Amino acid sequence: MSNDERIAQLEVQIAELEARLPKHSVPAAMIIELEDLEDELETLTAQDSNDTG
């Protein structure tokens, strides 16, 4: 899978997870899952902009 495809996939996964988050109390496991996805997205996006920049 290319970086761009993985980035698109991560964005969908993050949006889906965020839509499922309870408003006032998010279980720690969901926070960790979301932050793991965001970390991966951040790393890939940075790689992508380095490659194109």
* Residue 21 DSSP label: S
CB-based contact 33:17 (threshold 8 Å): yes
Please report whether residue 38 would count as binding other proteins according to CB under 8 A.
yes
**Interface residue with other proteins, options 1, 2, 5, 25 (CB under 8 A):** 25
Among 21, 43, 46, 47, binds other proteins (CB under 8 A): 21
Inter-residue contact 40 to 3 (CB < 8 Å):
no
> Which of 23, 49, 50, 52 is the binder for other proteins (CB under 8 A)?
23
In angstroms, the CA 1 to CA 17 distance is: 22
Q: Which residues bind other proteins (CB under 8 A)?
A: 21, 23-29, 31-32, 34-35, 38
